[in-house]
Amino acid sequence: MANLKIVRDRIKSVQNTQQITKAMKMVSAAKLRRAQQAIQQMRPYADKLNGMLRNILSNLGGQANTTFGTERPVKKACIVVVTSNRGLAGAFNTNVIKSAIATIDQKYADVRKEGNLTILPIGKKGYDAFRKRYTDCTIIKDHVDVFNDLSFDNVALVSQRLMDAFKAGEFDAVEVSYGRFKNAAMQFPETEQWLPVPKMEASGDQKGKADYIFEPDMESLLETLVPSILQTTFHKYLLDTHASEHGARMTAMDKATENANDLLKELKLSYNKARQEAITGEILEIVGGAAALESA
């Protein structure tokens, strides 16, 4: 009977867990629809603007007088790590963190040795991981909770701070590690250079420079256009990660629910076997007792 009680308790525990995973899957599915719609509307616009900016700066070369496209020796760098605030999303946060760590250890190892590497985590999971791992780096924790409000104006406060720091020479490069959303089952961790604006690679059939016409003039246009495009691109990073988080969590909770079903089948089979064994044992005792009485 003790074994039966243990199995019954385990079945009840798994059933309770299954109810939680089902509920979390439904919540993530509802949030995913909104997040997916937001990034699908934003991505073509942001990618087109970013491509246009890179194209302009690449073709104009030294004629384009903008601070955000100026490359200089990287002595001080900042890595922005965009993760979620909560876990239970499979390996999503871990993969984004690994992407950032690979960039730090391979690309900015010398900057880190000099003590000039700054990490700006957005999302509690990234903050918890990097404050323990990189005690020799400066951790900016002011924007950990940005995911509570993903409006453009709120996110722009972070991107504007980074642009001001780059313009003032506090950073020579800013890179962003985030999760790029493809669909509910596929998210890709990526690290992209945000500042300075990376130049486009010229293909073999490109000859000469593109002939752009600026109104009213190049300097005025770039002064307004470049910060706006950079803020839009930065906003896209967060929307991508937001959709990726809910897609990964929905997939993880769906898998957890399936595993709970499999475990329940095994536990119920074990419970039925144990109950049959107990009944068989009781019958054998009764038969044995009856036979003993007859022989007496």
Asked if 108 and 233 count as a contact pair (C-beta separation under 8 A), the reply is no
Average pLDDT over residues 45-69: 74
CA distance 265 to 263: 5
The correct answer on CATH 3.40.1380.10 for the domain covering 20-199+210-253 is yes
Q: For the whole model, what pTM was predicted?
A: 0.84
- CB-neighbour burial class of residue 54 (10 A; exposed 0-12, middle 13-18, buried 19+): middle
> Is 80 exceeded by the pLDDT of residue 257?
yes
- At 147-182, the pLDDT tens digits run 889 999 999 999 999 999 999 999 999 999 999 998
Q: Are 195 and 35 in contact (CB under 8 A)?
A: no
Mean of the per-residue pLDDT values of the chain: 87
Q: Are 218 and 57 in contact (CB under 8 A)?
A: no
**Interval 263-274: pLDDT, tens:** 999 998 888 888
- Please report the pLDDT score of residue 16 as a whole number: 94
CB 252: neighbour CB atoms within 10 A?
20
Which tokens belong to 179?
A: 């999760």
Q: Which residues contact 86 (CB under 8 A, 6 or more apart)?
A: 124, 125
Which position has the higher pLDDT, 53 or 131?
A: 131
**Confidence at residue 205, expressed as pLDDT on a 0 to 100 scale:** 45
Model confidence at 96: pLDDT above 70: yes
Residue 290 has pLDDT above 90, yes or no: no
pLDDT for the residue 76:
95
Domain ranges of the chain: 20-199+210-253
pLDDT for position 22: 92
Model confidence at 208: pLDDT above 60 = no
Q: Does residue 53 contact residue 225 with C-beta atoms inside 8 Å?
A: yes
Per-residue model confidence (pLDDT) at position 287: 78
